[in-house]
């Protein structure tokens, strides 16, 4: 069934990169501005690539799996602590990140003031549409498909993290975007780090919904300034390294769980 993962990745990149590289070309030649209605449309169409790709991949392989897929997307029967995890951990990681940034640069908050914190809640709603729903593809399709052929949770996370980062690559060439002109390597480090938490969360709960909320919380945290902006390269690298370290610790605990489980099964 690795065929499903290949279809998902291929379709997702063709759709997203088609729209986003087009927008990069248009902004480069000053044909449109980043704030224009056309740009917003192209960004949105590219952004839903993983969501559409998830459905295309399932329908192209075995459409009977749609029911199970939807049950994971809508799964809410989990301990409330995982909902708290999804909402609050990105905020805590952001606070740790900007604290490190302040240690590195004492003028950090002068150049990067924190916005109104009450904006976080409404930002969650928009962040679900512009970001969160990606997880229908990354966690709803790619992670479980990779797990069928590889039981190494670290390798699975590395693959998803790198693919996720590469998927965003055109944004670094779209003039006016937050990504434009910034370090892609620093972004990749952070992407793999955040992916570690998402990989753990899905593996623990099998709830795509929680991953959507976690992703939305990441974006909302950035929206209110509780995260290091990408144009602060050194603090951004420090934040990414911290997130990756903490995420790896989580995955290590999950890895130990699987090792102990397999030992018990062998003894039986």
* 3-class DSSP state of 106: coil
Cα–Cα distance between 157 and 211 in angstroms, integer? 14
Lowest mean pLDDT among 15-24, 48-57, 97-106: 97-106
- Its pTM stands at 0.93
What pLDDT, on a 0 to 100 scale, did the predictor assign at position 180?
96
Q: What ranges do the domains of the chain cover?
A: 72-267
Higher pLDDT, 2 or 257: 2
What pLDDT, on a 0 to 100 scale, did the predictor assign at position 258?
59
How confident is residue 267, by pLDDT bands cut at 50, 70 and 90?
very low
Of the candidates 130, 160, 133, 134, the residue with the CA atom closest to the CA atom of residue 146: 160
Q: In angstroms, how far is CA 69 from the centroid of its own chain?
A: 19
Q: Is the pLDDT of residue 256 over 70?
A: no
What pLDDT, on a 0 to 100 scale, did the predictor assign at position 189?
97
What pLDDT, on a 0 to 100 scale, did the predictor assign at position 265?
44
Give the mean model confidence (pLDDT) for residues 49-65: 96
- For the segment 75-88, what is each residue's pLDDT rounded down to a tens digit? 999 999 999 999 99
Q: What percent of the chain has pLDDT over 90?
A: 90
The Cα diameter of the chain in Å comes to: 67
Strands (E), 58-114: none
């Amino acid at each position: 069934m690795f065929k499903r993962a290949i279809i998902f990745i291929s379709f997702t990149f063709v759709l997203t990169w088609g729209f986003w590289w087009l927008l990069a070309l248009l902004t480069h030649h000053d044909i449109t501005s980043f704030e224009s209605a056309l740009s917003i449309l192209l960004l949105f169409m590219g952004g839903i690539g993983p969501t559409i790709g998830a459905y295309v991949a399932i329908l192209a392989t075995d459409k009977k799996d749609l029911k199970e897929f939807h049950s994971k997307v809508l799964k809410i029967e989990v301990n409330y602590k995982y909902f708290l995890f999804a909402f609050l951990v990105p905020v805590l990681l952001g606070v740790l990140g900007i604290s490190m940034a302040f240690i590195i640069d004492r003028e950090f908050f002068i150049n990067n003031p924190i916005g109104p914190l009450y904006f976080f809640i409404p930002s969650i709603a928009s962040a679900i549409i512009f970001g969160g729903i990606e997880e229908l593809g990354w966690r709803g399709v790619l992670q479980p498909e990779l797990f069928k052929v590889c039981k190494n949770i670290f390798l699975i996370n590395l693959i998803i993290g790198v693919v996720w980062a590469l998927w965003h690559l055109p944004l670094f060439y779209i003039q006016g975007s937050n990504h434009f002109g910034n370090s892609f390597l620093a972004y990749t480090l952070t992407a793999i780090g955040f992916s570690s938490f998402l990989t753990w969360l899905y593996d623990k709960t099998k709830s795509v919904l929680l991953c959507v909320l976690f992703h939305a919380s990441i974006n909302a945290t950035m929206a209110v300034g509780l995260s290091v902006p990408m144009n602060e390269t050194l603090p951004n690298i420090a934040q990414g390294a911290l997130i990756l370290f903490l995420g790896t610790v989580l995955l290590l605990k999950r890895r130990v769980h699987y090792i102990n489980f397999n030992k018990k099964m062998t003894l039986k």
